[in-house]
């Protein structure tokens, strides 16, 4: 007597279960809604529980459902061929959060063997003979079928393994398609039909679900050099256009009049092209700094000040900061500004003594040796964007706190990888660790730094090469690893599992895939109500 | 062990009370690890205290590093004790609980941002020190500019003074020189009349005056033509040749000083004074829109600086840290930690309070050096340095005391006296000379003489009118009040911070 199921023991899991690894073609549970990968948590009215002792495990586990001697159990229960059996199963909820529970009603059947009219064993009532080599010497049907079932089982339980190369497995699976088609054509019947269904379901699953990635989603992949080049070209063009558009206003040279003693009227409100200044040209007191330009072209000294913390200069510096985030982090902080001469002069203290000069408010700047240009007369909200920024703008890495969900933390984590924000990436890891002794006792280190720079570099390489996107597809339920009640001062440690899909580009389509290099199941923990943090040691 | 004594006792007691008790060997191992950790911790606490007491301005990095080293010591403590499955449950609980308590103590102390508080306090002291230097330097710089404007404005006023002096100098001798003219005129006319009278008298004596002789005499007089001769002698040219320089509005040159005084006074009033006053006002405008703008900018910046960086702000920051450290020490998870770190909190605050004292000293110096200058109501010396109001009152008094008013009035009065009174007297006196002539001749002379008298009187009156006009103009542009208005510096006072 058999259920026709194969199952893997999950008794050590916090929610003890048997995971369905295969449903034979003639199982009494075919067509009942049971799926490969389902966790059986109750058989009839008997919940699956962890054995209390090794002896009990030795005594019962081999005849549990889906195990090699399950028939003994059905016999002990006095069940007969065709008797109904209800299984309670859990599977990841279709909503993507937590588990959903289902009850499936199948039947116990006698173990069947099939023979043809020549009393030769066959695969199913109308199937090929098991020992036949058909159509060629490399294809003995039994070997082929058993290997294929293993393959299909693995594929249909795709989540089971993190060391699963889905594209390689797909190639291997597709190698069997021709023979499967031959089977369907040559030996039509329930066996061929069931195998055809399982095969195509596995192919569909292993191909991975499709994703529609937008240009915006993929913008991060643009090579930094390419982005820098493009932005620099836009900068040069915009700089030239700005100068041309304001040619009538721009003074041919910096004024040489004295900012206090002479009449500033003729130059007030005019635009002046200042020589390039860098951070070394900051002058002022510790509480207030200016870009200071000492123009000596007229033989004397003539100062021009740009308030570093003024509105326009702040927008200019923030644009340079955003360029560092969006294009290249190592932009040189030098500025070639065109600025408007303000009505009032200013006095600024520096180490060389106080200087009196003209106040200038920048209206445009070429930054970083021409790497970027920003027109400060243009505003987008509180900012002024640098030329080409719209093409590059992408959401910044969202900060996470105690109110963020595990899914949000993981999404922030992946955003950080894509954005090249190592600090945010590093901040998503737990700085504690928890593990279990063999006897089940938990040990927790309150301090355990994670995430090496090598892992960071590796993660960055992946998102710039074969991984085009990452999607969180399922979030498990929170469970307490330690309740805080174990002893005085014990910590409260909670954990949740998140499943993700990596998205690759295959034959022009973005599809989910798995690789031994990537981790699909992620664990996040929360210690004493702190923010959720990644407790795994891998970086991608 | 400094700041770990009570914690050590507490942990030792906890070690003794573990239940079920671990083996003696495991207990010794735990004790050993515990003592090693506490020694490491003590080192870190000492380092942290030294860093917080240090007067260097950027110690946050070192403080962060100190916490990292402390955490590393805690990790070594855990790693060494519960890494194998033969660790007893009692030991596991001991290590876990101790580690968590210590981690909480470390995290919460780190969260007080005591390192940042240190850097902020040091920074505030340095900012104040820097600001003291900066403001002193700015004041010097502004004073330099004040000197420039003082010199520029003074040059304008010196020019006005020069003009006034020139007018005074040139109006002084005009009357003296002119004073001789009536007498000269009298002498010249009298002399001419005498000559004429002598000619007529000689003729009378030679031909007789009675009967037919009179007819001959009359013919002779006709030949002599005394009226024609007198007319010729009383032309300006003839008088000038005779040394009499009669001034007129057309030609005041005959009296050089009168001409120069008229020209200098007129120019002073019409053009030069206005030029110089404009120059002065332009300088005042630039002082206001340039120099005083700079002063006000600095004054306002200083006010803002005090609001943002004053001692009160430093006290607030210190108090915040003090409160945070109080909470830290009182919320620690064990009595041993509370006791030890209660003392440690005091030590940290003691170090921070030294920095606060330094800020107070610096702030007091800052206030002392800038009160009345860039802080609070302006001191009179500062206002005076910026506007030079008193000094310019002295200039005004000096200009007024040059007595331009009085000098020009005297010039006008003297000229009026000479041209109107003296000239009239001289002509009237000259007219009496006609009485010596024969009545018939006298009658002939009367017409040219009267014509001459009328001409001179008219010219003198016109000249007097010109001088009166200049005087009236002078009165309109030059008085004590007007000079005060030219040198008005209220715009400067108004432009200062009120």
Q: What is the model's pLDDT at position B478?
A: 86
Residues of A in contact with B102 (CB under 8 A): 446
The better pLDDT of the pair B174, A306 is held by A306
| C-alpha distance from B316 to closest chain A C-alpha (Å) | 18
B20 preceded by a cis bond (ω within 30 of 0) = yes
DSSP reduced 3-state for B362: helix
- The helix-helix angle for B335-370 and B114-207 (nearest 10°) equals 10
Strands A492-506 vs A521-527: parallel, antiparallel or unpaired: antiparallel
Taking contacts as CB-CB distances below 8 angstroms, the residues of chain A near B130 are 285-286
Q: How far apart are CA B443 and CA B142, in angstroms?
A: 84
pLDDT band, very low/low/confident/very high, at A387 (cuts 50, 70, 90):
very high
Q: Nearest-CA residue of chain B relative to A258? A: B290
Distance, in Å, from the CA atom of A448 to the CA atom of B74, rounded to the nearest integer, reads 10
Residue B253: per-residue pLDDT: 58
Q: Which residues of A touch B (CB under 8 A)?
A: 259-264, 285-288, 344-347, 349, 353-356, 437-439, 441, 443-448, 486-491
ipTM of the complex: 0.79
A445, two tokens:
């280190």
Distances B239 to A134, B193, B248, B437, B450 between C-alpha atoms, Å? 161, 13, 14, 22, 16
Nearest by CB to A447, from B74, B141, B145: name it: B74
A1-54 pLDDT per residue, tens: 999 999 999 998 888 999 999 999 999 999 999 999 999 999 999 999 998 888
CA distance B75 to chain A (A): 6
Residue-level pLDDT at B216: 86
Could you tell me which chain A residue has the CA closest to the CA of B284?
A: A261
Contact A346 B305 (CB under 8 A): no
What number is the average pLDDT over the span A242-267?
Answer: 94
State whether residue B96 sits within 8 Å of chain A by CB.
yes
**How many angstroms from the chain centroid is the CA of residue A425?**
11
Inter-residue contact A292 to A355 (CB < 8 Å): yes
B134 Cβ neighbours under 8 A, 6+ residues apart: A285, A349, A354
pLDDT of residue B362: 95
CA gap B233, A293 in Å, rounded: 82
- Per the DSSP assignment, residues forming a β-bridge with A483 are A492
Confidence of residue A396 (pLDDT cuts 50, 70, 90): low
Q: pLDDT-derived band of residue A334, with 50, 70 and 90 as boundaries?
A: very high
Transcribe A257-317 into DSSP letters: S-TTTS--TTTTT-EEEPPPB-GGGEEEETTEEEEEEEE-TTSS-EEEEEETTSHHHHHHH
> How much is the pLDDT for B176?
81
CA–CA distances in Å: residue A215 to residues A46, A219, A451, A501: 53, 6, 30, 19
For residue A19, the Cα-to-chain-centroid distance in whole angstroms is 27
Position of tokens 């001034």?
Answer: B247
pLDDT of residue B1: 56
Six-digit token string for B189: 């006319």
Q: Which of B75, B134, B153 to mutate to test the interface with A (most CBs of A within 10 A)?
A: B134
Nearest Cα of chain A lies from the Cα of B180 at a distance, in angstroms, of: 53
Task: Please enumerate in sequence order all residues whose Cβ is within 8 A of that of A425, keeping only pairs 6 or more positions apart, or say none.
Answer: A413, A416, A417, A451, A456, A459, A539
Q: What is the pLDDT of residue B252?
A: 59
Residues of A in contact with B366 (CB under 8 A): none
Instruction: Tell me if A260 and B290 make a contact (CB, 8 A cut-off).
Output: yes
CB A25 within 8 A of CB A191: yes
With bands split at pLDDT 50, 70 and 90, how would you rate the model's confidence at A203? very high
Residue where the block lists tokens 């795994």: A536
Sign of CA dihedral B9, B14, B15, B17: positive
How many Cα neighbours within 13 Å face the side chain of B244? Answer: 24
Q: Name the residue with higher pLDDT: A343 or B486.
A: A343
Q: For strand A355-367 and strand A302-307, is the pairing parallel, antiparallel, or unpaired?
A: parallel
Bridge partners of residue A291, in order along the sequence:
A282, A306
State whether residue B100 sits within 8 Å of chain A by CB.
Answer: yes
Dist. CA A278–CA A281, nearest whole Å:
5
CB contact under 8 A, B286 and A444: no
| pLDDT tops 90 at residue A83 | yes
Tell me how close the Cα of A510 comes to any Cα of chain B, in angstroms: 44
What percent of chain A lies above the pLDDT cut of 70? Answer: 98
User: Of the candidates A260, A489, A490, which has its C-beta nearest B294's C-beta?
Assistant: A260
Give the helix ranges, DSSP H, for B268-334: 273-286, 292-309, 311-330
DSSP A28: T
CB distance A356–B97 less than 8 Å? Answer: no
CB atoms within 10 A of CB B490: 10
Instruction: Give the model's confidence band at A308: pLDDT under 50 very low, under 70 low, under 90 confident, else very high.
Output: very high
Pick A345's closest partner by Cβ from B96, B100, B290: B290
CA distances (Å), origin B43, targets B5, B37, B48? 13, 10, 9
- A242, A364 Cβ separation under 8 angstroms: yes
Q: Which two tokens stand for residue B156?
A: 């304008």
DSSP string, A513-538: E--TTS--EEEEEEETTPPPEE-SS-
Question: Encoding tokens for residue A492?
Answer: 């409260």
- Which of 249-288 (B) contact A at CB < 8 A? 286
Point out the residues of chain B with pLDDT beneath 50. Answer: none
Q: Which range among A277-286, A444-453, B330-339 has the greatest average pLDDT?
A: B330-339
Query: Rounded to an integer, what distance in angstroms lies between the CA atom of residue A341 and that of residue A295?
Result: 14
Q: DSSP of A210-228, one letter per residue?
A: EE---HHHHGGGS-HHHHH
Rounded distance, CA B335 to CA B343, Å?
Answer: 13
Q: Do B137 and A491 touch (CB under 8 A)?
A: no
What token pair was written down for B322?
């003090």
pLDDT of residue B459: 86
B294:A345 CB<8 A: yes
Any A CB within 8 A of B145 CB: yes
Of B97, B130, B289, nearest to A489 by CB-CB distance is: B97
DSSP H/E element including A103: strand A99-107
At B132 the pLDDT is 94
Q: Given the DSSP bridges, would you call strands A492-506 and A479-483 parallel, antiparallel or unpaired?
A: antiparallel
Q: Tell me the Cα Rg of chain B.
A: 53
- For chain B, the 3-state helix, strand and coil shares in percent, each to the nearest 5, are 85, 0, 15
At A247, list the tokens. Answer: 């040619």
pLDDT score of A164: 80
Compute the nearest-CA separation of B26 from chain A (Å).
Answer: 17
Residue A395 reports pLDDT greater than 60? no
What is the structure's pLDDT at A257?
92
Q: Find the closest chain A residue to B78 by CA distance.
A: A445
Q: Which long-range contacts (CB under 8 A, 24 or more apart) does B448-456 make?
A: B448/B227, B448/B228, B448/B230, B448/B231, B448/B234, B449/B230, B449/B234, B451/B231, B452/B189, B452/B230, B452/B231, B452/B234, B452/B427, B453/B427, B456/B185, B456/B246, B456/B423, B456/B427
**Which chain B residues touch A445 with a CB distance below 8 Å?**
75, 78-79, 99
**Three-class HEC string of B427-457:** HHHHHHHHHHCCHHHHHHHHHHHHHHHHHHH
- In which element (H, E) is residue A114 found? strand A114-115
- The answer to whether A285 contacts B127, with C-beta atoms less than 8 Å apart, is yes
Is B50 near chain A, with CB under 8 Å? no
Q: Which residues of B touch A527 (CB under 8 A)?
A: none
The confidence score (pLDDT) of residue B405 equals: 87
Nearest C-alpha in A relative to B282: A263
Q: pLDDT, tens digit, for every residue of A403-418?
A: 999 999 999 999 888 8
| Cα–Cα distance measured from residue B365 to residue B170, given in angstroms and rounded to the nearest whole number | 59
Q: Which residues share a beta bridge with A475?
A: A97, A498
Work out the burial of residue A106: count CB atoms within 10 Å of its CB; fewer than 13 is exposed, 13-18 middle, 19 or more buried: buried
Task: Return left, alpha or beta for B438; rule: phi > 0 is left, psi -120 to 50 is alpha, else beta.
Answer: beta
Q: What are the counts of helices (DSSP H) followed by strands (DSSP E) for chain B?
A: 20, 0
Mention every residue, 6+ apart, whose C-beta is less than 8 A from residue A195.
A25, A145, A148, A180, A183, A184
CB contact under 8 A, B138 and A288: no
A441 contacts in B (CB within 8 Å)? 89, 92
Query: What does the pLDDT read at residue B215?
Result: 85
B294:A356 CB<8 A: yes
Residues of chain B neighbouring A488 (CB-CB closer than 8 A):
97
Top-ranked range on mean pLDDT: pick from A156-170, A179-193, A322-336: A179-193
C-alpha separations of B106 from A126, B98, B103, B421 in Å: 74, 12, 5, 111
Q: Which of A260, A287, A446 sits opposite B309 (nearest CB)?
A: A287
Other CB atoms closer than 10 Å to residue A354's CB: what's the count? 21
CA B223 to chain CA mean position, Å: 83
Question: Which residues in B217-251 are b (16+ Cβ under 10 Å) and which e?
Answer: bbebbeebebbebbbebbebeebeebebbbbbeee
Tell me, what's the pLDDT at B175?
80
B296: region left, alpha or beta (phi > 0 left; psi from -120 to 50 alpha): alpha
Please give the average per-residue pLDDT across A368-374, as a whole number.
96
């Amino acid at each position: 007597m058999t259920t026709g199921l194969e199952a893997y023991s999950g008794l050590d899991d916090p929610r003890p279960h048997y995971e369905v690894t295969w449903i034979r073609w003639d199982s009494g549970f075919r067509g009942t809604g049971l799926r490969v990968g389902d966790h059986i948590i109750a058989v009839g009215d008997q919940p699956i529980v962890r054995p209390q002792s090794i002896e009990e495990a030795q005594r019962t586990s081999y005849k549990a459902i889906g195990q090699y001697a399950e028939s003994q159990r059905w016999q002990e229960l006095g069940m007969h061929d065709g008797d109904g059996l209800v299984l309670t199963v859990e599977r990841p909820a279709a909503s993507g959060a937590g588990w959903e529970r289902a009850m499936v009603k199948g039947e116990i059947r006698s173990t069947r063997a099939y023979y043809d009219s020549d009393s030769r064993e066959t695969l199913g009532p109308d199937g090929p003979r098991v020992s036949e080599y058909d159509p060629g010497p490399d294809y003995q049907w039994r070997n082929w079928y058993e290997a294929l079932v293993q393959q299909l089982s693995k594929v249909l339980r795709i989540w089971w393994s993190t060391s699963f190369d889905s594209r390689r497995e797909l190639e291997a699976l597709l190698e069997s398609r021709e023979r499967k088609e031959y089977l369907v054509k040559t030996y039509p019947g329930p066996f061929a039909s069931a195998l055809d269904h399982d095969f195509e379901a596995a192919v569909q699953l292993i191909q991975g679900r499709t994703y529609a990635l937008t240009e915006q989603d993929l913008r991060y992949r643009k090579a930094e050099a390419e982005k820098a080049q493009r932005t620099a070209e836009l900068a040069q063009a915009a700089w030239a256009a700005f100068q041309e558009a304001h040619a009538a206003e721009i003074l041919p040279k910096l004024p040489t009049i004295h900012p206090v003693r002479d009449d500033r009227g003729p130059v007030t409100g005019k635009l002046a092209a200042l020589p390039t200044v860098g951070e070394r040209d900051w002058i002022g007191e510790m509480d207030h700094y200016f870009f200071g330009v000492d123009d000596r072209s007229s033989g004397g000294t003539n100062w021009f000040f740009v308030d570093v913390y003024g509105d326009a200069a702040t927008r200019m510096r923030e644009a340079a900061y955003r360029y560092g985030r969006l294009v290249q982090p190592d932009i040189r902080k030098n500025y070639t500004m065109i600025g408007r001469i303000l009505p009032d002069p200013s006095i600024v203290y520096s180490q060389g003594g106080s200087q009196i000069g003209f106040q200038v408010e920048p209206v445009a700047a070429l930054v970083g040796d021409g790497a970027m240009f920003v027109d400060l007369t243009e505003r987008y909200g509180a900012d002024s964007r640098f030329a080409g920024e719209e093409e590059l703008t992408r959401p910044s890495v969202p900060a996470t706190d105690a109110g963020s969900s595990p899914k949000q933390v993981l999404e922030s984590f992946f955003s950080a990888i894509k954005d090249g924000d190592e600090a945010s990436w590093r901040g998503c890891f737990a700085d504690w660790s928890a593990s279990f002794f063999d006897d089940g006792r938990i040990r927790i280190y309150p301090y355990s730094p994670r995430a090496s720079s090598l892992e960071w570099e590796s993660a960055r390489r992946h998102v710039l090469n074969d991984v085009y996107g990452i999607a969180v597809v399922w979030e498990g339920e929170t469970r307490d690893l330690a309740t805080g009640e174990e002893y005085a001062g014990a910590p409260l440690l909670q954990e949740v599992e998140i499943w993700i899909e990596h998205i690759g580009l295959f034959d022009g389509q973005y599809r989910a895939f798995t690789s031994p290099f990537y981790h699909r199941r992620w664990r996040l923990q929360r210690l004493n109500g702190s923010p959720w943090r990644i407790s795994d040691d891998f970086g991608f | 062990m400094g700041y770990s004594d009570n914690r050590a006792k507490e942990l030792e007691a906890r070690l003794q009370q573990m239940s079920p008790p671990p083996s003696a060997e495991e207990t010794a191992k735990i004790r050993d690890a515990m003592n090693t950790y506490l020694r490491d911790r003590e080192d870190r606490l000492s380092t942290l205290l030294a860093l917080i007491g240090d007067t260097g301005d950027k110690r946050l990095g070192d403080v962060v590093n100190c916490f990292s080293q402390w955490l590393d010591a805690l990790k070594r403590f855990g790693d060494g004790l519960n890494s194998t499955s033969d660790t007893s449950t009692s030991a596991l609980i001991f290590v876990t609980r101790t580690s968590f308590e210590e981690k909480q103590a470390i995290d919460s102390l780190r969260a007080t941002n005591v390192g940042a508080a240190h850097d902020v306090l040091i920074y505030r002291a340095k900012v104040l020190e820097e600001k003291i230097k900066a403001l002193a330097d700015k004041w010097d710089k502004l004073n330099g500019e004040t000197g420039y404007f003082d010199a520029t404005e003074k040059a304008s006023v010196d020019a006005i003074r020069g003009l006034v002096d020139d007018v005074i100098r040139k109006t002084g001798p005009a009357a003296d020189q002119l004073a001789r003219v009536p007498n000269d005129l009298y002498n010249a006319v009298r002399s001419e009349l005498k000559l004429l009278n002598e000619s007529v008298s000689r003729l009378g004596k030679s031909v007789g005056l009675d009967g037919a002789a009179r007819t001959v005499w009359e013919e002779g007089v006709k030949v002599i033509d005394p009226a024609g001769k007198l007319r010729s002698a009383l032309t300006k040219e003839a008088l000038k040749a005779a040394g009499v320089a009669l001034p007129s509005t057309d030609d005041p040159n005959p009296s050089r000083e009168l001409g120069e005084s008229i020209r200098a006074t007129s120019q002073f009033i019409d053009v030069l004074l206005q030029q110089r006053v404009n120059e002065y006002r332009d300088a005042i405008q630039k002082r206001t829109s340039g120099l005083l703008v700079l002063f006000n900018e600095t004054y306002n910046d200083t006010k803002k600086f005090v609001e943002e960086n004053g001692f009160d702000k430093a006290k607030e920051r210190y108090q915040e840290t003090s409160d945070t450290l109080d909470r830290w020490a009182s919320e620690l998870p064990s009595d041993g930690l509370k006791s030890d770190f209660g003392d440690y909190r005091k030590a940290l605050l003691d170090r921070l309070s030294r920095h606060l004292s330094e800020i107070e000293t610096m702030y007091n110096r800052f206030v002392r050096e800038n009160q009345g200058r860039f802080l609070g109501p302006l001191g009179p010396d500062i206002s005076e340095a910026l506007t030079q109001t008193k000094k310019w009152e002295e200039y005004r008094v000096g200009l007024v005391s040059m007595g331009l008013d009085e000098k020009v009035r005297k010039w006008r009065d003297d000229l009026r006296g000479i041209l109107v009174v003296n000239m009239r007297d001289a002509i009237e006196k000259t007219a009496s000379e006609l009485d010596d002539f024969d009545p018939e001749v006298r009658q002939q002379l009367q017409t040219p003489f009267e014509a001459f008298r009328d001409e001179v009187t008219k010219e003198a009156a016109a000249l007097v009118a010109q001088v009166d006009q200049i005087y009236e103009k002078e009165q309109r542009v030059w008085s004590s009040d007007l000079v005060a208005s030219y040198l008005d510096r209220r715009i400067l006072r108004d432009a200062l911070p009120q």
